[in-house]
Structure 1
Amino acid sequence: MINMLPESEGAIIGVEVSGKIDSEEENKWIAVFDDLIKEHGNINILILLDGKIHYGIDAAYDDLKWTFKNLKNMNKLAIVSESKVLGWLVAADSPFGKLAGISEKHFETSNLQDAWRWVKE
């Protein structure tokens, strides 16, 4: 399930991702993100992960395809989770994100408000 977080506003969107994500739900949210890009040009994204995600292969492919297509439209990406591994992966990917013009940062769940402040700067 993907739910928009209430702190989302304007070109800044936050979503909470949990449970099973199928291609239908992924494509529903891709349309939401596409609409934001059409309206604002560039967006900042906060993704809150609960650690119990079951991503279908089709949904993962749709997400990856959308991400590569829209790299130029993302300014900041905050990943919020309790996963140390995900924190390391975000840190490792961050230099490549910068090459595409994206600032990426991982926050622990207890620092969610810091993540919101960062994506809104």
Structure 2
Amino acid sequence: MPHDLGTARGPSRYTVPAVFSRRPQPREIDLLHGTGISRRLADAGYSDVELRVSDRRLLITNTNLTDLKEGLAHLLGMILSEVSTQAARERSERAEELDALGLIEEQRLESIRQAAAEIHFD
């Protein structure tokens, strides 16, 4: 927070850092930095607000405590929850795809083993 916050010379808009409870995963960061989130913020009346992730912090730029108190914090909570849910769903779907590919590969190798076992050099 700016050192002169709350003074006559203090800025009306600034960056507010919020600490994540865990390190965000790369896909979550990609989703947070995506145009869909910017559009959603703009649609809610926060067109100047931007979200950036830095290590374990979400940097909420061009905002202030009043915006956060009057609804931005709630919106960001919903966005973070949805981003986490979407990233988890994508990970699960990818894991299922990899499992299916692994099964296909296992079947292919078994087929080759069986074909090779049928060959005899008499």
What TM-score do the two structures reach when normalised by structure 2? 0.28
Structure with the largest fraction of strand: 1
Larger radius of gyration: 2
